[in-house]
A = this chain, B = another copy of it.
Amino acid sequence: MFSSIIVNVCLLLGVSSSCWGNRQETWVDEKLARDTQPSKWGSLWPLPQRVDIFDVSFKLAAASFQIFDGNTSSAGPSCNLLQNAYRRYYKYMFGGAKSKQPHTQDAFPELMGLQVLITDPNPECDQYPSVSSDESYELLVDQPIAILKAPKVWGALHGLETFSQLVYEDEFGAKSVNWTQISDFPRFAHRGILLDTSRHFLPVKVILTNLETMAMNKFNVFHWHIVDDQSFPYMSRTFPDLSQKGAYHPYTHVYTPSDVKMIVEFARLRGIRVIPEFDTPGHTQSWGKGQADLLTPCFAGAEPSGSFGPVNPILNTSYDFMSRLFQEVAAVFPDNYVHLGGDEVDFTCWKSNPDIQKFMEKQGFGKNYSKLESFYIQRLLDIVTSTKKGYIIWQEVFDNGVKLKPDTVVHVWMGGANSADELRNVTAAGFTAILSAPWYLNYISYAQDWVQYYKVEPLSFNGTEAQKKLVMGGEACMWGEYVDATNLTPRLWPRASAVAERLWSAKDVTDVNDAYARLSSHRCRLVERGIAAEPLFSSYCPHEFKGI
């Protein structure tokens, strides 16, 4: 069973133990490959919460197999989200259109179709997903019709992906699936990927490809770090000069309002939230090009030096600007949250500026520029609160003692062992948290680093059960200094898949050898679906990447 899907792993095992890597320290990876058996879970990724697979298989006829709404489903033909998903997954499973073969009854038991049943009166077909969306589903694969049940469409999307992962080709190439029962739901509600479109512009097509791949891995948040020092590609209706002057190019390197709308809808159809980040007061060099007086003028001695620092926190015009910008952002991005950044504010420029110095004195901040930063952030949070959005902020904002709304999400990114302390402190203060510190995938190294991402346990910090419940999930980050359309996809996938399983599957799913077997097959499936996901180690896929 699962024969063709896992053939690459089998071949790996066929290589003798004495064939070590040429000229390289690949011993650990050789051992991993050698010790790995095909998984009893086939190529499922991420592993569902409960799975039973029996050694009884059914055949699927491409010409007649149907994915259809159950009679009692609350979602009918008008539910575009599901109808689109049926077509997408049919193609994943069967490839392009098949000529209608006359159907000959043969000796094999056949699976005729997959019935999709949305059980909640409100299927949420036309809604946006949120952190509290129900993503659970149940799947029973048995003759004559498999049944996928989910309270909401979000669970149905995940169930379709899971069903497609169960289908394999037998030794004659016949599409097959085994008797299977699955009950599934995510361990964490927030499972994100951060992409950075400021250090390098990412064409819309690249973003869409990434969203598709996210859905194949059950990620549900696209954290769009859309602007930064280097460029401002977001085309604002309110402040068109921001991209006109701050983008790498005002026409070819911008996201128009319709680009954004398309990306948001493409994501929604895959159960993915789009959370934009407009990071201030630091990381805003590109903002200054299109908005006079927004940034702090730096001084060299008594004279302005000509360069600029973070957003100028002492001018009312700065807050007027932010108010209008975030009103627009709140309207353009339907998600309930925006990410406000707040990280890595460099005080050098503020310190050099005599007006800032005076302001500090007047406010009684002494020499503590963190207080000035907090002053700015506090006003910004009030502005964003007035737009009815919740907010996510990088951990510095919490660390600096800014007063935060109870529903604030604190994004933990600072590296190493300290991230556990940070999670403890954040949740002890009653805030929800997202973890990214161990998952900075832009950092690359030789050999299989997915294992280190996989081994992370987000709840390993010291804290009460109530505290642990405040960890909403995590995000894999792909910062853009060294990444653009040429290398994003293979650098991100399947390394991010390791994070996907950590955030979706049960806590005790930690067997690296089993993961290696499933992930090897999963990455070949991604390649077969046209995604340039890179290999884990010496191996092959039945269908190699054709996209070059």
Which A residues form the contact surface with B (CB < 8 A)? 11, 15-24, 26, 29, 196, 199-201, 203, 205-206, 209, 228-231, 248-249, 252-253, 283, 285, 298, 307-309, 343-344, 346, 348-349, 413, 440, 442-448, 479-491, 527, 532-540, 542, 544-548
Contacts and interface: CB of A to CB of B under 8 A. Distances in A.
A444 B446 CA distance: 5
A486 B534 contact: yes
A480 B535 CA distance: 10
A540 B253 contact: yes
A448 to B, nearest CB: 8
A26 B283 CA distance: 14
A307 B209 contact: no
A199 B30 CA distance: 12
A203 B538 contact: no
B21 A481 contact: yes
A209 to B, nearest CB: 6
B489 A548 contact: yes
Given A200-B540, A480-B538, 7 more contacts: A11-B248, A18-B348, A22-B479, A29-B481, A444-B444, A482-B536, A484-B544
A501 B17 CA distance: 40
Contacts of A535: 200, 482-484, 486-487
Nearest to A348: B18
A211 to B, nearest CB: 13
A479 B18 contact: no
27 contacts: A16-B285, A16-B307, A17-B307, A18-B307, A18-B346, A20-B346, A22-B196, A22-B344, A23-B343, A23-B440, A23-B479, A26-B481, A200-B538, A203-B546, A205-B548, A248-B540, A481-B537, A482-B534, A483-B534, A485-B532, A485-B544, A485-B545, A485-B546, A486-B489, A486-B534, A487-B532, A532-B548
Contacts of A343: 22-23
Copies of this chain in the oligomer? 2
Contacts of A444: 444-446
Contacts of A196: 22
Give the one of A16, A253, A283 with max B CB within 10 A: A16
Contacts of A22: 196, 199, 228-229, 283, 343-344, 479
Contacts of A539: 200
Nearest to A539: B200
Contacts of A249: 540, 542
Contact of A413 (B23, B206, B248, B483): B23
Contacts of A205: 548
Give the one of A17, A209, A481, A539 with max B CB within 10 A: A481
Nearest to A248: B540
Contacts of A442: 24, 446
A437 B469 CA distance: 52
A18 B446 contact: no
A445 B201 CA distance: 22
Nearest to A228: B22
Nearest to A229: B19
Contacts of A483: 534-535
Give the one of A22, A307, A483, A486 with max B CB within 10 A: A22
Nearest to A14: B289
Contacts of A206: 548
Nearest to A413: B23
Contacts of A20: 344, 346
Contact of A201 (B248, B484, B540): B540
Contacts of A26: 481
Contacts of A487: 487, 490-491, 532, 534-535
Contacts of A209: 548
A481 B30 CA distance: 10
Contacts of A479: 21-24
Contact of A538 (B298, B481, B533): B481
A446 to B, nearest CB: 5
Nearest to A208: B548
A192 to B, nearest CB: 16
A433 to B, nearest CB: 17
Contacts of A308: 16, 18
A498 to B, nearest CB: 15
Nearest to A540: B248
Contacts of A482: 446-448, 534-537
Given A486-B527, A535-B483, A542-B252, A229 B24 contact: no
